[in-house]
């Protein structure tokens, strides 16, 4: 009976029977992973799958970095660095024209300096000489050894060399003597032609009649132009591609009066004097026209009286044909 009562007591536990003991019990929920691989070697492979990320240094100040270092860091992150605004550089080696072109006096080279007109020309030359002297003084700021007589000798050599290179068709070395503006003008209409040019002598010594200076873009970028008067004796003959004379003569020498403009980029340390233009006065007479070398067409039209005579003569000379057999 006692055993039966004990079993009944154990089965029928009253509510709240173990409440004083539950406060002292420590329990932990355990969760078991049922997808664990049976081979532990895959742990190493899974650990090697980790990709390390290079995080930027947040304590680094961008203000202390140079432009090149910022560009390198942007390229490391695959970011296109911003393109800086860079203007295209260009170099002005010569001007596009003649500033304040010299106006030659009418009848220059033909009027005696003792006459009235010659004295007036000398007076006008002295009035314009002040600007020329100021320009020469500015040239000497960049070129200390500039001397007018020596420059005239150098200008004569350049003048002769330019014509010799043109006659020899040496286009590569011609650009060293003439500027970019004068280059196409010098080579204009000389294709398929033969040029024979000879420098004989100076009738008058070359002299500077005008000098001017100007600045382009900035005040330090100075160009100088010097106009030289040449009064020389030359021979010139131009032949076409068939050897027929177009202009001039190799025997007959002529007196030539020219005003040639020389230019130099004086602000450039390595600048040189080159031929820039030629001044042609308005009072100069027109050129001698070139000889015609093309073949003239034969006239096919016959005048009316001659045409009637030819028709009658041809009708009388027509032979008769006998068709009778």
pLDDT reported for residue 320 = 47
Q: Tell me the average pLDDT of the chain.
A: 80
DSSP string, 115-178: SHHHHHHHHHHHHHHHHHHHHHHHHHHH-TT--HHHHHHHHHHHHHHHHHHHHHT-HHHHTTTB
Helix (H) or strand (E) holding 71: helix 67-76
Exposed, middle or buried, 135 (CB in 10 Å: 0-12/13-18/19+)?
Answer: buried
Identify the CA nearest to 151 among candidates 271, 278, 273. Answer: 273
Identify the CA nearest to 246 among candidates 199, 295, 294. Answer: 294
Asked whether residue 116 carries a pLDDT value surpassing 80, the answer given is no
pLDDT reported for residue 175 = 92
Question: For residue range 217-246, what is the model confidence (pLDDT) as tens digits?
Answer: 888 889 999 999 999 999 999 998 888 888
Q: Is the pTM of this model over 0.75?
A: no
Cα 1 to Cα 215: distance, rounded to the nearest angstrom: 134
Domain ranges, residue 228? 116-279
Is 31 domain-assigned? no
In DSSP terms, which residues pair with 234 in a beta bridge?
A: 199, 254
pLDDT reported for residue 323 = 45
Q: Into how many domains does the chain fold?
A: 1
Identify the CA nearest to 258 among candidates 274, 240, 276, 281. Answer: 281
Name every residue whose Cβ is closer than 8 Å to that of residue 75 and which is 6 or more positions away in sequence: 81
3-state SS, one letter per residue, for 18-37: CHHHHCCCCCCCCCCCCCCC
Q: Which two tokens stand for residue 306?
A: 């001659």
Q: Which two tokens stand for residue 105?
A: 């006096």
Asked whether residue 209 carries a pLDDT value surpassing 70, the answer given is yes
Identify the CA nearest to 263 among candidates 232, 231, 222. Answer: 222
Rounded to 5 degrees, φ, ψ at 275 are -75, 125
Is 89 domain-assigned? no
Is 250 domain-assigned? yes
Is 95 domain-assigned? no
Which residue in the block uniquely carries the two structure tokens 């000879």?
198
Q: Which two tokens stand for residue 68?
A: 């090149």
Question: For residue range 277-292, what is the model confidence (pLDDT) as tens digits?
Answer: 999 888 777 776 666 6
Is 296 domain-assigned? no
Which residue in the block uniquely carries the two structure tokens 């550089």?
89
pLDDT reported for residue 274 = 94
Is 104 domain-assigned? no
Identify the CA nearest to 223 among candidates 152, 271, 151. Answer: 271
pLDDT reported for residue 92 = 84
Cα 32 to Cα 111: distance, rounded to the nearest angstrom: 125
Asked whether residue 90 carries a pLDDT value surpassing 50, the answer given is yes
Is 269 domain-assigned? yes
The CATH number for 265's domain is 3.10.450.240
Identify the CA nearest to 263 among candidates 251, 271, 253, 275. Answer: 275
Question: For residue range 129-154, what is the model confidence (pLDDT) as tens digits?
Answer: 888 899 999 999 998 889 999 999 99
Is 167 domain-assigned? yes
Question: For residue range 25-83, what is the model confidence (pLDDT) as tens digits?
Answer: 566 777 766 777 778 788 888 888 888 887 878 888 888 888 888 888 888 888 887 77
Q: Which two tokens stand for residue 242?
A: 């068939």
For residue 286, the 8-state DSSP code is P
């Amino acid at each position: 009976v006692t055993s039966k009562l004990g079993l009944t007591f154990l089965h029928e536990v009253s509510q709240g029977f173990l409440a004083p003991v539950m406060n002292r019990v420590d329990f932990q929920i355990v969760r078991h992973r049922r997808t664990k691989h049976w081979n532990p070697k895959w742990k190493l492979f899974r650990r090697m799958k980790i990709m390390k990320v290079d995080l930027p240094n947040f304590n680094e100040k961008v203000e202390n970095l140079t432009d090149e270092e910022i560009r390198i860091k942007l390229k490391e992150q695959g970011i296109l660095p911003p393109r800086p605004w860079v203007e295209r550089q260009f170099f002005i080696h010569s001007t596009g024209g003649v500033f304040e072109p010299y106006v030659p006096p009418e009848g220059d080279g033909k009027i005696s300096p003792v006459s009235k007109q010659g004295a007036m020309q000398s007076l006008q030359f002295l009035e314009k000489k002040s600007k020329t002297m100021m320009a020469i003084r500015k040239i000497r700021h960049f070129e200390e050894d500039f001397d007018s007589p020596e420059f005239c000798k150098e200008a004569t050599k350049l003048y002769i060399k330019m014509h010799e290179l043109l006659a020899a068709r040496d286009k590569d070395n011609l650009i060293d003597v003439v500027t970019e503006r004068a280059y196409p003008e010098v080579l204009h209409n000389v294709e398929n032609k033969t040029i024979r040019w000879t420098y004989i002598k100076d009738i008058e010594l070359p002299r500077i009649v005008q000098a001017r200076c100007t600045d382009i873009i900035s005040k330090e970028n100075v160009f100088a132009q010097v106009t030289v008067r040449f009064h020389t004796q030359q021979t010139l003959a131009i032949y076409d591609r068939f050897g027929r004379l177009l202009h001039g003569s190799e025997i007959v020498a002529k007196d030539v009066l020219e005003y040639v403009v020389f230019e130099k980029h004086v602000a450039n340390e390595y600048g040189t004097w080159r031929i820039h233009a030629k001044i042609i006065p308005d009072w100069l007479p027109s050129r001698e026209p070139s000889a015609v070398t093309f073949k003239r067409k034969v006239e096919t039209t016959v005048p009316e009286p001659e045409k009637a005579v030819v028709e009658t003569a041809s009708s009388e000379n027509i032979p008769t044909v006998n068709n009778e057999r």
